Amino acid sequence: MPVDNSSQTVNTHSMSTRLFDHIDLRVKNRKNAQRFYAQVLPALGFHVDKSGDRWGLFEAPGERGVDFFGFTEDAGHVPNENRIAFWAESRAAVDKIAEVVERAGGKNIEGPELCAAYSPGYYAVFFEDPDGNKLEVCCRDSATVAE
């Protein structure tokens, strides 16, 4: 049975609808990751490339406090079972991003497909970046169902 914890929210400052600020990812090979993410992240809405020598960095457009996705090289990085999932507006958007992922060299691509076991109307593409980090782009018609 779902538990509504919204009354426990502590308002430490005026927040928008954003619930996270950024993703800080490790990759084994920065050069390969830069080529991949330079194609995939703009398709997800991270249009501003602020990459430098040490970090790959893509931001959403905006004046201040925008979402961003950063990655840096760690030769000892070992991908694990964690998955970063991005939200898409529609199934058509998931399909378009899946095409970008394939052209960019995404690995182990599954879908796009309807994943009714997750929740009704859950439509997603699952893939890995060149270093094996797991990602997903999904569109959901309803709330998730936890078992």
In the prediction, which pLDDT does 141 show?
A: 84
Residue 5 has pLDDT above 60, yes or no: no
- pLDDT computed for residue 146 by the predictor: 67
Q: What is the pLDDT of residue 12?
A: 44
List of residues 6+ apart from 10 with CB closer than 8 A: none
**3 falls in which pLDDT band (50, 70, 90)?**
very low
Q: Looking at the domain assignment, is residue 133 inside a domain?
A: yes
Q: Is there a domain that residue 11 lies in? A: no
Of residues 15 and 88, more confidence is placed in: 88
**Residue 28: inside a domain, yes or no?**
yes
Select the more confidently predicted residue: 63 or 89. Answer: 89
Percent share of the chain, pLDDT over 90: 73
Query: Is 58 among the domain residues?
Result: yes
Residue 3 in domain: no
- Range of 57's domain? 20-139
pTM across the whole model: 0.85
- Residue 146 falls within a domain, yes or no? no
CATH classification at residue 78: 3.10.180.10
pLDDT in tens, 9-48: 444 445 456 678 899 999 999 999 999 999 999 999 999 9
Query: In the predicted model, is pLDDT for residue 57 greater than 60?
Result: yes
CA distance 114 to 123: 4
pLDDT score at 77: 96
Q: Look up residue 35 and give its two tokens.
A: 């080529």
Looking at residue 17, its pLDDT comes to 65
Whether 64 is in a domain gets the answer yes
In a domain, 46, yes or no: yes
Domain count, the chain: 1
